[in-house]
Structure 1
Amino acid sequence: MIAITCGELPMRLKSTALAVAAALLSSMAAHAADIEAWAKPVDAKVLEWRRDFHEFPELGNREFRTSKRVAEHLRSLGLEVTTGVAHTGVIAILKGAKPGKRIALRADMDALPVTENSGLPFQSKQTAEFRGEKVGVMHACGHDSHTAILMGVAEAMARHKSDIAGEVLFIFQPAEEGPPDGETGGADQMLAEGIFKTFKPEAVFGLHVFSTLNAGQLGYRSGPLMAASDRFNIVVKGRQTHGSRPWGGVDPIVAAAEIVSSAQSIVSRRQNLTKQPVVLSFGAIKGGIRYNIIPDSVELIGTIRTFDDEMRAQVFKDLANVAEHVAAAHGATVVSKIPDTIGNPVTVNDPTLTAKVLPSLRKVAGKDVVEMTLTTGAEDFAYYAKEVPGFFFFVGATPKGQDPNTAPSNHSPQFFLDESALPLGTRALLQISLDYLAGAP
């Protein structure tokens, strides 16, 4: 037995603590170096993949070319690959050299019915049919970069799987923006087809490039992050008549215009906005074909964004009430679907998981990791996060020096991605994944 005097004990404890701290810092520095060594060899490929997907975008449930290229790449890495999940989805499983934790990483693949006006040399010239109309197709939300980043992460991990303890499920998901009318799709469809039944992860991670952050920044929030999203459809039915004698029919255009106007008071005058934010927006008004013909009907479609279930239900009720009674005041009727489809729930970052992975983000971006306010955009990543603890974060897309508040937003024809977001996103997702699998603090 070795005797330790009272004076020696604090010094020995201090010495031990310093040694532990030094070892931890050394381990963190080595791990940071490993991330760079893992990520750098795939950077050029991620850039090439992103530009290719950007030039040849595909709408939801129609990601045939994209999913084929993703599947071919994953197979080339020797992963267990399954295609045709939720129509065009692809999943793959990587098994590390040692047993350990299970995680899932998700990227979305679909584009939007937007005609691109970015001026990029690889600008999309693709077209498709959407709601019966010929439209341009564009990766106006950045899903091309999400797909490319996850392909890069998969390759980096496959190259070093002998250093990985645990298993990783890579999810390449179609139709995040919603499936075509009359079809199913997206995250809830992938889950319904059992991807978490055959492989149940302990945690799921995802990212999104975001115009409201500058390149070099990573954004996060613990708890509720993104809003629940619901779509509505209101058809105002009148009676056709000639434009020269409106008294001969019932004008659905005037009734529809007043519905749009009156609906603005639902949020501003009927919701307690000190509790949670609410958004109600009309996205399209369609009716009529000729300047002097008052049509039979007008269609209104739009979106509702909420963070509270009671407030969500009340907006549904109030909008239906406004539509019915305003139309009636004009002698018209309405057929309303509020909501039109099953919407996305609130995207919630598990607080315990957020606290665990926040140091990983800071290893990659340091002081450029910023806490976000509530975001009224929506994400069907929320479905995965309802099944297992989830963490979803943002990667800045707007070039440094440009005000992100005035930059073209996600979904804009001018949406522009600073491509430095690609290596940053790759490293952030790798760092989170490897730290979690290794059990790092």
Structure 2
Amino acid sequence: MKRTALGIACLLTTTFAHAAQDINTLIDKVEPQVIDWRHHFHEFPELSNREFETAKYITSFLQTLDVEITTGVAKTGVVAVLDSGKPGPVIALRADMDGLPVPEQNELAYKSTQTAQYNGNTVPVMHACGHDTHMAMLMGTAKVLSQMKDQLHGKVKFIFQPAEEGAPPGEKGGAEIMVKEGVLKNPDVDVIFGLHINANTDIGKVRYTPKGSMAAVDPFKIVIKGKQAHGAYPWKSVDPIVTAAQMVMSLQTIVSRELKLIDAAAVVSVGSIHGGNRSNIIPNEVELIGTIRTLDKDAREHVYEAMQRKVKGIAMSMGAQAELTLPLDYSYPITYNDPQLTAQMLPTLNRTAGKDNVLLSNPVTGAEDFSFYQEQVPGLFLWLGGKPLDVSEKDSPAHHTPEFFVDDKGMKLGVELLTNMTLDYMNSAKR
């Protein structure tokens, strides 16, 4: 039978429509489970590097699927590989697992009343950033893709990551350690996708940013040593407080006078100053602690150089000594969305959410350790709407607060996005 180009196009369109219908049916069926899983995680949160019961719950579910499971990655992480048995790319999907030391103030049937030990104190624990939804959505995606195994080409690696919020003092954790322990190897990952629910974006919408999406974070400490003296006789001192004041003001000029801010934003903030204990004593030492946020690699390198230059120069001009520790105790790279991958996936986002619901957004100066994966392989990190439509943006509680809330209805789109990005990337690689 002879087929025309139009006939082939119609056949492909019909085939695609049937495939989409099948996917939607599977996602509709899994949505109630996704909601139940989310409620469980929300009611029983655990702190960073302490996600032991969370990991057991995830593992128990994954054991019902045809996947290869590895536990104990970066202490409590869980990784599962779905192998189609056919050649193709390896696509990683990531969700974070940890809660925060925040007391929940929402009246929910699944409200958290959990407590845990943190820095030697008993603290309340809450999923105050949406990681409970991330785990539930990834579990739902794993179930849907497992049911579609015969349609896959390649492998899917599901990464459930601990300690995104940062490991406890004295410990290591999170994406950086998962990468060091080989989570992107065996099989070698080609691309990675992730998303973060957002309490200030309407459900049904998704936001994306090519290139620098979230900032690199580099904490720093400056210790200024002078010469102690009576406050009435300052000429006998080398005043570290005055020196510190000059440094605080001068550090602000790195951003305002040295960086080309029309290209990418940056922040240098001093968040803590300690020095002295009496009104009439000029102390011997002052300590400054702060953070640097940059969205561009060149800007990040410039700030590092300028910090050294200014700290050394101001201390020398005042007759003091200063020691800069940069980074202080941890450091995150820029969350960088690969431009080519972002452009490739944009039609998928438009088809899945509807073009009017896909929003090109400005970068933010918050940080995400998803960036450690993106240093190794091309990645795309999205913001998923979680705000109820009847709540205004100004009235929606912020992340990391006791009132933080996101709507269960937002998670279905998350499952759809992760599923469709996986399938579309596989099919494009196959061609």
What's the TM-score once normalised by structure 1's chain length?
Answer: 0.83
1:368 aligns with 2:357: yes
Matched, 1:422 2:417: no
The separation in 2 between residues aligned to 1:60 and 1:173, in whole angstroms, is: 10
- Aligned-residue sequence identity (percent) comes to 46
**Structure 2 SS opposite 1:165:** coil
Offset of 1:210 from its aligned partner? 2.0
Letter in 1 for 2:159: I
CA shift, 1:27, in A, is: 2.7
**Structure 2 unaligned regions, length at least 5:** none
Distance 1:161 1:286, change over 3 A: farther
- Cα gap change, 1:207 to 1:326, in 2 (>3 Å): same
> CA contact under 8 A between 1:409 and 1:415: conserved in structure 2?
yes
Q: 1:364 corresponds to which letter in structure 2?
A: T
User: 1:302 offset after TM fit, Å?
Assistant: 3.2
CA offsets, 1:122-178, max 9 Å, x none? 333334444565544332221111111111111222233233332111111112222
Give the match for residue 185 of structure 1.
173
Counterpart check, 1:38 vs 2:26: yes
Using the TM superposition, name which of 92-101 and 185-194 deviates more: 92-101
Q: Does 1:232 align with 2:220?
A: yes
Who is 1:51 aligned against? 39
Give the CA deviation at 1:420.
1.5
Post-superposition CA distance 1:236-294 (Å, at most 9, x none): 6689999x999899997787677555543432233221231102234555679999999
Query: 2: distance between equivalents of 1:418 and 1:94?
Result: 29
For 1:282 and 1:412, the matched residues in 2 are separated by: 22
Q: State whether structure 2 residue 396 is matched by structure 1 residue 407.
A: yes
Residue from 37, 62, 66 that aligns with 1:74: 62
Could you say which residue in structure 1 is the equivalent of 2:182?
194
Matching residue within 170, 177, 191 for 1:203: 191
State the match for 1:4 in structure 2. Answer: none
Counterpart secondary structure, 2:88: strand
Tell me if 1:276 matches 2:268. no
User: Measured at CA, do residues 25 and 297 of structure 1 come closer, stay the same or move farther in structure 2, by a change above 3 Å?
Assistant: farther
**CA deviation digits over 1:214-247, x for unaligned, max 9?**
21101123333222222223456689999x9998
What is the rounded CA distance, in whole Å, between the counterparts of 1:130 and 1:268 in structure 2?
A: 38
Tell me how far apart the structure 2 counterparts of residues 375 and 144 of structure 1 sit (CA, whole Å): 22
2:387 to 398, 410, 431: 398
Return the letter of the residue paired with 1:115: P
1:359 to 335, 347, 350: 347
Q: Does 1:90 align with 2:58?
A: no
> Quick one: structure 1 residues 206 and 81, their matched pair in 2 at CA, closer, same or farther if it must change by over 3 Å?
same
Cα distance in 2 for residues equivalent to 1:348 and 1:148: 25
Q: 1:149 corresponds to which residue? A: 137
**CA 1:286 to 1:377, structure 2 compared with 1: closer, same or farther past 3 Å?**
same
Which of 343, 346, 371 does residue 382 from structure 1 map onto? 371
Q: Which moved further from structure 2: 173-182 or 320-329?
A: 320-329
Closer, same or farther: CA 397–229 of 1 in aligned 2, 3 Å? same
- Kindly indicate whether residue 391 of structure 2 is the aligned counterpart of residue 431 of structure 1: no
User: Residues 176 and 28 of structure 1: is their aligned pair in 2 closer, same or farther, counting only changes over 3 Å?
Assistant: same
**Aligned position for 1:3:** none
Contact 2:232–2:280 (Cα < 8 Å) also in 1 = no
Q: Against the structure 1 CA distance between its residues 104 and 135, is the aligned structure 2 distance closer, same or farther, given a 3 Å change threshold?
A: same
For structure 1, list consecutive stretches of 5 or more residues without a partner in the other structure: 1-11
Is the Cα–Cα contact under 8 Å of residues 97 and 163 in structure 1 kept in the other structure?
A: no
Distance 2:113 2:217 in 1: 29
More displaced, 184-193 or 315-324? 315-324
**SS in structure 2 opposite 1:58?**
coil
Stretch of structure 1 that moved more, 79-88 or 248-257 = 248-257
> What code does the residue aligned with 2:193 have?
F
Q: Displacement of 1:306 after TM fit?
A: 0.8
Amino acid at match of 2:377: V
- Counterpart check, 1:64 vs 2:52: yes
Measured at CA, do residues 403 and 283 of structure 1 come closer, stay the same or move farther in structure 2, by a change above 3 Å? Answer: farther
Distance (whole Å) between structure 2 residues aligned to residue 118 and residue 297 of structure 1: 44
Q: Quick one: distance in 2 between partners of 1:414 and 1:330?
A: 47
Change beyond 3 A, Cα 1:314–1:392: same
Change (3 A) 1:253 1:147: farther
RMSD: 3.5
Aligned: 1:19 with 2:38: no
Matched, 1:167 2:155: yes
Q: Distance in 1 between matches of 2:420 and 2:270?
A: 40
In the superposition, relative to structure 1, how do residues 53 and 301 fare at CA in structure 2: closer, same or farther (>3 Å)? farther
**Counterpart amino acid of 1:186?**
G
Q: What per-residue deviation string (whole Å, max 9, x for no partner) do you get for residues 74-112 of structure 1? A: 122242111111111111111225443321111111223
Structure 1 residues 357, 313: CA separation in 2 closer, same or farther (over 3 Å shift)? closer
SS in 1 for 2:54: helix
* Residues 246, 294 of structure 1: 8 Å contact kept: no
Please give the secondary structure, in 1, of the residue aligned with 2:185: helix
Aligned equivalents of 1:57, 1:394: Cα separation in 2: 22
Q: 1:384 to 1:122 in 2, by over 3 A?
A: same
Task: Give a deviation string over 1:156-208, Cα, whole Å, max 9, x none.
Answer: 22233233332111111112222233322222211211222211122211111
